Amino acid sequence: MPDICANERGFKENVLDKKTGYLIEPKNLEENLVNIIQDISMENYLSMSVQCREHSIHFSKEKMIEKIQKFII
């Protein structure tokens, strides 16, 4: 499921803007949120959902363990 997040901190690392979700500026949060909700089509939503699943592989438990082991060793 695509996310709608503020364009800050860890969200920028996890959400690929307009691919796996939307990163919106905190200054105009309400306005940007309304615009996204009004403009998203079902086709776009479904496409983003597929990309979310593909992108989530990078954040699996196995990948995180692998990254930690590389850091420690």
Give the pLDDT of the chain (73 residues) as one tens digit per residue.
Answer: 888 888 888 888 889 999 999 999 888 888 988 989 888 889 988 999 999 899 888 878 888 898 899 888 7
CA distance 58 to 46: 20
User: 67 is in which domain, residue-wise?
Assistant: 3-72
The number of domains in the chain is 1
CB-based burial of residue 68 (10 Å sphere; 0-12 exposed, 13-18 middle, 19+ buried)? Answer: exposed
Interatomic CA distance for residues 42 and 46, integer angstroms: 6
pLDDT in the model for residue 71? 83
